[in-house]
Amino acid sequence: MKEQHPKINFGKTGVLLVNLGTPDSTSWWDIRKYLKEFLSDKRVIEVNPFFWQVILNLFILTFRPSKTAKAYKEIWMKEIDKSPLRYFTEMQTKKLREKTIGENLIIDFAMRYGNPSIKNKINKMQKDGCERLIILPLYPQYASPTTATVCDEVFRVLMKMRWQPAIQIVPHYESEPLYIEALVKSIKKKISEIDWKPDLIVASYHGIPKKYFEKGDPYHCYCQKTTRLISESFKQIKIITTFQSRFGPQEWLQPYTDKTLEALPSQGNKKVLVISPGFASDCVETLEEISIQGKESFERYGGEKFSFIPCLNDNDDHINLLEHLIKKNL
């Protein structure tokens, strides 16, 4: 019987970093494919599915890919033909692999939407002998449309497995001291690089519809907590919280980043820094929406100085934070 038993790999622990996702290229079809998967997620769009699919397929997926493709072309890393989010997630994984975190540890990454998929990576890790998986969604502040939908997809994959690995989820890390320290250091670094003193720092987080918050989503509270902790460690300049990237006609969490940037110059805040604490890697929402569109809007309404603080990306402080989160859950 022993001779007939199939070879089975076992005894390893897998760590899967998961970010939102990215199209494979800036082509219309790749953008459309990515948007279809993203906007079909019932955690992201909480409306009648039949009604929404009609609107999505007849209208949004006909017209929006062109606009989205234009934004991606502004920030696409042409020399390596990758989006910044894909590149930085790869680098985070590579640098974590280079650290001695634990024995029999496999570290990899996946995207909730697009490639590489959670399904393919979990199946591969299980095949490679991972009896336990640590899922690390790269969203510091938990929200249903981000962290929860990662969990949904992980569990959908497990439902089809005969031999399921044990699962450990890292749900949020909005108040981890190493996270706050890394953000504060990034602010100080930016201030040391510019030759002007900011009047204000805007902490811009991705928004969610207000009704999600009213239904019990804790995201708003986690964002406010992160800003408060940053402010307690860096008291030299006032920091405010805003929310960006709203989509559709319904009310989202306020204040809105774009409207705030338009109003700040008339309020005497003509020199600002913007940081996006909720994004683990720079992406179209930070590099195009904030660093390009946000800057243009701010200056159009009378702003004089504007600078965007890069996300933590693959810098050493961020890698140390991710290493800490992994060790904490081993």
The stretch 257-268 carries a mean pLDDT of 98
Q: How far apart are the first and last CA of the chain?
A: 35
Query: For the segment 155-212, what is each residue's pLDDT rounded down to a tens digit?
Result: 999 999 999 999 999 999 999 999 999 999 999 999 999 999 999 999 999 999 999 9
Q: Rounded distance, CA 244 to CA 91, Å?
A: 26
pLDDT class of 4 with cuts at 50, 70, 90: confident
Query: For the segment 103-155, what is each residue's pLDDT rounded down to a tens digit?
Result: 899 999 999 999 999 999 999 999 999 999 999 999 999 999 999 999 999 99
Intervals of CATH 3.40.50.1400 along the chain: 12-172+317-329, 177-309
Query: For the segment 21-48, what is each residue's pLDDT rounded down to a tens digit?
Result: 999 999 999 999 999 999 999 999 999 9
DSSP 57-78: IIIIHHHHHHHHHHHHHHH-BT
> Which residues contact residue 307 at a Cβ distance below 8 angstroms, ignoring those fewer than 6 apart?
190, 194, 198, 272, 273, 274
Q: Which CATH number fits domain 12-172+317-329: 3.40.50.1400, 2.40.128.30, 3.40.1080.10, 3.30.470.30?
A: 3.40.50.1400
pLDDT class of 101 with cuts at 50, 70, 90: confident
Please determine, for residue 251, whether its predicted confidence score (pLDDT) is greater than 80.
yes
Please determine, for residue 295, whether its predicted confidence score (pLDDT) is greater than 90.
yes
- Mean of pLDDT over the chain: 97
Per the CB < 8 A criterion, the answer to whether 205 and 159 are in contact is no
Please determine, for residue 50, whether its predicted confidence score (pLDDT) is greater than 60.
yes
Share of residues in the chain with pLDDT > 70 (%): 99
DSSP 150-219: HHHHHHHHHTT-SSPPEEEE----TT-HHHHHHHHHHHHHHHHHSSS--SEEEEEEE--BHHHHHTT--H
pLDDT value of position 290: 98
Ranges of beta strands (E only) in the chain are 12-22, 105-114, 130-137, 166-169, 200-206, 239-244, 271-275, 305-309
pLDDT value of position 274: 98
pLDDT class of 2 with cuts at 50, 70, 90: low
pLDDT class of 3 with cuts at 50, 70, 90: low
User: The whole model's pTM is what?
Assistant: 0.96
Q: Which residue has the tokens 């320290």?
A: 181
Question: Residue length, the chain?
Answer: 330
Share of residues in the chain with pLDDT > 90 (%): 95
The stretch 313-321 carries a mean pLDDT of 98
Please determine, for residue 5, whether its predicted confidence score (pLDDT) is greater than 90.
no
Does domain 177-309 bear CATH number 3.40.50.1400? yes
pLDDT value of position 7: 82
Provide the 3-class DSSP secondary structure of residue 118.
helix
